[in-house]
Amino acid sequence: MVTRDAACTCGDLRLTLEGEPMLVSACCCTRCQRRTGSFFGVTAYFRPDQLIVREGISSTFQRSEGSATFHFCPHCGSSVLWMSDDWEDVIGVAGGAFADPTLPGPHRMTHAGTGHPFVTSPKGIPVYEDGPPE
């Protein structure tokens, strides 16, 4: 079974996950743009039992509407993982934290309606103007 390592920029906060992600999603919402400092965010979603190692200390930030709690490195500030109040059985991990070209690409793109016009999705994946389907 494949294992994947994710880490913050300085390497102090690290995760090891076993198996493939349940879903990889690209999101163009303005919250993800601000969180990542980029034009979109990519999240790889795993079940909590796929997390086999967590090293380091994280600080947390909870969105004001309480929808998600983000764990980031207190040294370099990189967001590494988050949990949603809506999805208690899922861990989101920043796609870029893997720095692994074998991580599967996005299965979908959400909030394309707030995306920058030059951001395009990979061919063949569903694109949602607003949030993901329920």
Mean pLDDT in consecutive groups of 10 residues from the start of the chain, 134 residues: 95 96 92 86 95 92 80 94 87 94 92 90 88 70
Domain range spanning residue 63? 3-114
Q: Is residue 120 part of a domain?
A: no
pLDDT at 11: 96
pLDDT at 34: 86
CB 25 within 8 A of CB 43: yes
Q: Is residue 88 part of a domain?
A: yes
Q: Is residue 121 part of a domain?
A: no
Specify which residues 72 forms β-bridges with.
59, 79
> Could you give the number of structural domains in the chain?
1
CATH number of 107's domain: 2.170.150.70
pLDDT at 13: 96
Q: Is residue 53 part of a domain?
A: yes
Q: Is residue 129 part of a domain?
A: no
Q: Is residue 44 part of a domain?
A: yes
pLDDT at 64: 67
CA-CA distances (angstroms) from residue 71 to 66, 75, 85, 122? 14, 12, 14, 28
pLDDT at 98: 95
Q: What is the pTM of this model?
A: 0.89
E strand or H helix at 94: strand 91-94
CB 23 within 8 A of CB 17: no
Q: Is residue 62 part of a domain?
A: yes
Q: Is residue 127 part of a domain?
A: no
